[in-house]
Chain A
Amino acid sequence: MSDSVLPAAAVAAPPKPRTRLPPAVALGIAWIGLMLAVALLAEVISPYAYTALDLRNRLSPPVFMDGNWAHVLGTDELGRDVLSRLFFSIRMSLLIAFGATIIGAAFGTTMGFLAAHFRGVVEQAVLTLVDFSASLPFLILALAVLAFFGNSLMLFIVLLGFHAWERYARIARGLAISAGAQGYAAAVRQLGATPLRVYWRHILPNIASTLIISMTLAFPEVILLESGLSFLGLGVQPPATSLGNMLGYGREYLTRAPWILLAPAFTIILTTLAISLVGDWLRDRVDPTLR
């Protein structure tokens, strides 16, 4: 895929110091910027509160379907403004995805470092856990956990954080083992640095670029997972709203008011697409070995 975006980079033998940004990637970055701005400014730019009812204007269509300008993207079955709900949903979905990605990366990296540092039994235990996580579809595990712990936002974020942790663990373990064999880690250790300091201050910064790229690649997956679970009614619970949650409830009005569902649908598609494009491009530029 990335080849279609950046055909020259793979072939060009002497890497140019500055390659031009491919247009698709530039658009992707712009879209991500827009989404971040919306998430940060949701209160300021929303025309209404996302829970505000306008009972006289229930299921009113968006402007481009002969609706009125009071509700640019129309309203839902309770007369809530779709645009305002969309803004707050973007905030919620991005918040969850950020939280979960960071938790996953932190947990996975820590486990990888532990395995690399202690080797032996600890390493075997971590690798068994990695195998276990990689061998089951995460959605099923998540559903099983949700079945009993029920739904709180914090728990939901932590749960999604366990998605893809095994990828970071694998990468961190491999890189830490090879970094440990390099001069700089041994040198700091000889100077008397504690293991914590060696890993945190010296090895982590050296492998950070690879980890950050893995995070970029896992981020859209977390968005899809969150929206999938919320769509099934098992993720974010009302009155809070997220992109998947909007889709799930909008589905009941598919025939009469498809706009409720289309707005979050296209937002999900464009956002995951944008992040994937940027992530692939970053990976190809910074670390082609990650493929």
Chain B
Amino acid sequence: MLRFIATRFARALVTIVMVVTFAFVVLRLSGDPALLIMSVDAPPEAIAAFRQAWGLDEPLWQQYLKYFGAIVQGDLGRSMRDGRDAIVLVTERIPATLALTLPALAIKLGIGIPAGVYAALHRNSLTDRLVMTTAVLGFTVPSFVLGLLLVLVFAVQLGWLPSGGQGTWRHAILPVITLGVGGAAVLARFTRSAMLEVLGQPYIRTASAKGVPWRLVVRGHALPNAAIPTVTIVGFMVGSLIAGAVVVESVFSWPGVGRLLVVAVANRDLAVVQCILLLVAATMVTSNLVVDLLYGALDPRLRQMRAGGAH
């Protein structure tokens, strides 16, 4: 078990290092930030001063080492636009993003999983068809289309809710629904197929045949086994709490991390983009790690297999 955990930790660290390197390579080598930030007709001395101030005049490997060292110390640089610490800029947006993504996650779990389980248990019933049709629609309608359609109906036509911005809790309703519906659809579809897979197993038939009431078969045998694959996708949803609202925040002009990222990308504000990239990577990797460990806890077979080095 210890070896299993250690390998997972090492893997997570390697991923983080790769993201840092990726950020450095992509954001530093692809153009001269000095020329992008300063106007074209800026005097050469000013450009040179800018380069020196940001360490852009040093050899790349030195920049990379410095960059890496700074990140290890928690220094993620300052925004090239307004000179504030990138990490501060980003962290002060996190609450706004979580205000959308946490309720949306609750909707996804609260609707998606029960709907999927119900559809699987009543396969080919009218409800199953309904759930699956909705799931397909939720899967194929992109969030920005859904968001704009909701705005069109509930803000423009009916005038019930505000169309964008952040103020009261009513501003959050449409973005939360937009985020939640798509995820709930994906989760319902996934849970359903995980359940169906399990329900087709011989041990379910055995349990029914020996006279265990169906309710208990479902609760005791089907649900725990179907939970194993479902945990993966839920982990992915938890991991994208920070990054999952980029498009929706833009649709509703919600001042969260995603909106900041889009603006930073449009302005080519290096430090902020890097900071968000690392933050997203860290949350993703952490939640993947937790999922892996949960897997081990949920499924003893995996634990033994991996700990034994058979995998």
Chain A residues engaging chain B, CB cutoff 8 angstroms? 1, 3-4, 7, 128, 131-132, 135-137, 139-141, 143-150, 220, 224, 227-228, 231-234, 244, 247, 251, 254-255, 258, 261, 265, 268-269, 272-273, 276-277, 291
Contacts and interface: CB of A to CB of B under 8 A. Distances in A.
A137 B280 contact: yes
A251 B250 CA distance: 11
A232 B250 contact: yes
Given A132-B15, A247-B145, A269-B140, A139 B243 contact: yes
A146 B137 CA distance: 29
A132 B18 contact: yes
Contact of B280 (A136, A244, A272): A136
Nearest to A251: B148
A137 B193 CA distance: 23
Given A1-B136, A136-B280, A268-B145, 5 more contacts: A140-B261, A232-B250, A251-B148, A251-B251, A291-B193
B247 A228 contact: yes
The secondary structure that dominates the A interface is: helix
Contacts of A227: 142, 144
A273 B156 CA distance: 27
B48 interface: no
22 contacts: A3-B124, A131-B11, A131-B15, A137-B243, A140-B261, A143-B265, A144-B23, A145-B26, A147-B27, A147-B264, A149-B26, A227-B144, A231-B250, A232-B246, A234-B262, A244-B144, A247-B145, A251-B148, A254-B152, A269-B141, A272-B140, A276-B140
Given A4-B129, A4-B132, A258-B152, A231 B137 contact: no
A247 B247 CA distance: 13
B244 to A, nearest CB: 7
A140 to B, nearest CB: 5
Contact of B27 (A132, A136, A148, A244): A148
Contacts of B27: 144, 147-148
B113 interface: no
Interface stretch (B55-63, B68-76, B209-217, B281-289): B281-289
A1 B135 contact: yes
B179 interface: no
Contacts of A273: 136-137, 140
Given A147-B273, A273-B140, A128 B148 contact: no
Contact of B145 (A144, A255, A269): A269
Given A137-B240, A137-B280, A234-B262, A265 B145 contact: yes
B86 interface: no
Interface in B268-292: 268, 270, 273-274, 276-277, 280-281, 284-285, 288
Given A1-B136, A276-B136, A276-B139, A146 B240 contact: no
Contact of B244 (A3, A137, A291): A137
Contacts of B280: 136-137, 140
Nearest to B240: A137
B285 A135 contact: yes
Contacts of A128: 14, 18
Interface of B: 11, 14-15, 18-19, 22-23, 26-27, 30-31, 123-124, 128-129, 132-133, 135-137, 139-145, 148-149, 151-152, 156, 163, 189, 193, 196, 240, 243-244, 246-247, 250-251, 261-262, 264-266, 268, 270, 273-274, 276-277, 280-281, 284-285, 288
A18 B26 CA distance: 51
- Of the listed residues A137, A147, A276, the one surrounded by the most CB atoms of chain B closer than 10 A to its CB is A147
A255 B133 CA distance: 30
Contacts of A233: 262, 266
A1 B276 CA distance: 35
A1 B132 contact: yes
A136 B132 contact: no
Contacts of B285: 135
A160 to B, nearest CB: 15
B247 A232 contact: yes
A258 B152 CA distance: 8
Contacts of A146: 265
Contacts of B244: 137
Contact of A247 (B26, B124, B144, B152): B144
A2 to B, nearest CB: 9
Given A139-B246, A144-B27, A149-B30, A224 B142 contact: yes
B149 A265 contact: yes
A140 B19 CA distance: 11
Contact of B273 (A143, A251, A254): A143
A254 B128 CA distance: 35
A276 B185 CA distance: 14
A144 B124 CA distance: 44
A285 B69 CA distance: 54
B148 A265 contact: yes
A147 B31 CA distance: 10
A146 B31 CA distance: 12
B75 to A, nearest CB: 19
Contact of B262 (A143, A148, A254, A269): A143
A269 B251 CA distance: 17
A13 B122 CA distance: 21
Contacts of B145: 247, 265, 268-269
Nearest to B139: A276
Contact of A147 (B129, B151, B240, B268): B268
B200 to A, nearest CB: 10
